[in-house]
Structure 1
């Protein structure tokens, strides 16, 4: 990236979704349940870590849930960084749905499921409202960037946490959110912050 004379270098945030789990494979709602990576997820994390290590990150922060922490560990092993834990990077809390498959949710909670399918940000049944999710994740992103101006930071997190944290950070309107695809396992979002330009999205859903 070329810089104008006197312009500070950009701060880069790479929001990295965890690798695959057995719950992902079974289309089971994980939410904040602490589910480990499976063999595929560990292989995905190792492959993605090779690419992300090439970005020369100086700071690594992870959700405290095991699947994200295990993913971050693959990058820590290559870079020598210690993975800090931040509970704000946790996945969206899915209340009574956690641990159920999608068909089970549809059968047991038809009303909230219909609201969720209709992109209601607060569908009920104890599910964390999207404004609350976006607020906590975007705060974690901003504070990480403030710690290392001009540096590269990797945040290991979760699909909904990344999507809605980015949306809150960039001020995307609510009606836009259903048109944005989820981030796949072990893919990442590339954000840049620089001076008066503020926050910009450089890449979305990038993988090996």
Structure 2
């Protein structure tokens, strides 16, 4: 049995202010660093065999907290980045709604291709699904942790599990520094073991674009 832990990064100032981060490289704030340390203490108990992370600072630094406890290197992978949000990146959601009302309405409705230069859900899912699978393949029968982003995590998980978009939309986004646990074996393939597990903090953001 191979275990894959899909871990969302800690809080950032843009999370706190409701700005769309997408692939903008925003670092952790003090709360995010505290969350990463707390989550790393829990994840170290899984005795991971490998750690992967998006190359964006907020995810790479989150993974670094676990690396500091385990002595494992962090393997960065650009495919683990968040969904690209085009011209929305840097805007508050209220601003995106005002400037791109039709695209915003489609995005809120879960349209797979809302327009405005936003990466399609299909592209995000395929990108993350391949990256997750390749990460897991580095430690068959072991435990792999992949630090990524909320929207990217959900789409990649859905790709591995083979879930239809309507089903995937019923799953809550990961809170800051929380994770999803997936198991894989040759008989049953990928299956969901646990979701949104991690240290409790009421200041966490759950926005799927972060």
- Verify same fold: TM over 0.5: yes
Q: Hey, what does 2:66 align to over in structure 1?
A: 75
CA distance in 2, matches of 1:81, 1:177: 32
1:41-72: CA deviation from partner (whole Å, max 9, x where unpaired): 00000000000001000100100000001101
Residue 124 of structure 1: aligned partner: 115
Unaligned residue ranges in structure 2 (runs of 5+): 200-210
Q: Does 1:106 align with 2:97?
A: yes
SS in 2 for 1:128: coil
CA distance in 2, matches of 1:165, 1:118: 19
C-alpha distance in structure 1 between counterparts of 2:114 and 2:29, whole Å = 30
Question: Could you tell me which residue of structure 1 aligns to residue 138 of structure 2?
Answer: 147
1:165 maps to which of 144, 149, 156: 156
Residue 196 of structure 1: SS of its match in structure 2? coil
- Show structure 1 runs of 5+ residues with no match: 1-9
| 1:1-208 map, 5 Å | 10-208=1-199
Under a length normalisation based on structure 2, what TM-score does the superposition of the two structures give?
Answer: 0.93
Of stretches 170-179 and 31-40 in structure 1, the one that deviates more from structure 2 is: 170-179
Aligned residues: 199
> Which runs of structure 1 show a deviation greater than 3 angstroms over 4 or more consecutive aligned residues?
none
CA positional deviation for 1:144:
1.4
* Cα distance in 2 for residues equivalent to 1:41 and 1:65: 14
CA distance in 2, matches of 1:84, 1:178: 29
Report the Cα distance in structure 1 between the residues aligned to 2:165 and 2:44, rounded to whole angstroms: 34
- Aligned residue for 1:74, secondary structure, equals helix
1:202 alignment partner, SS class:
strand
| Distance apart, 1:178 and its partner CA | 2.3
Deviation at 1:185, TM superposition (A): 0.2
Write the distance in 1 (CA, Å) between the matches of 2:193 and 2:134: 19
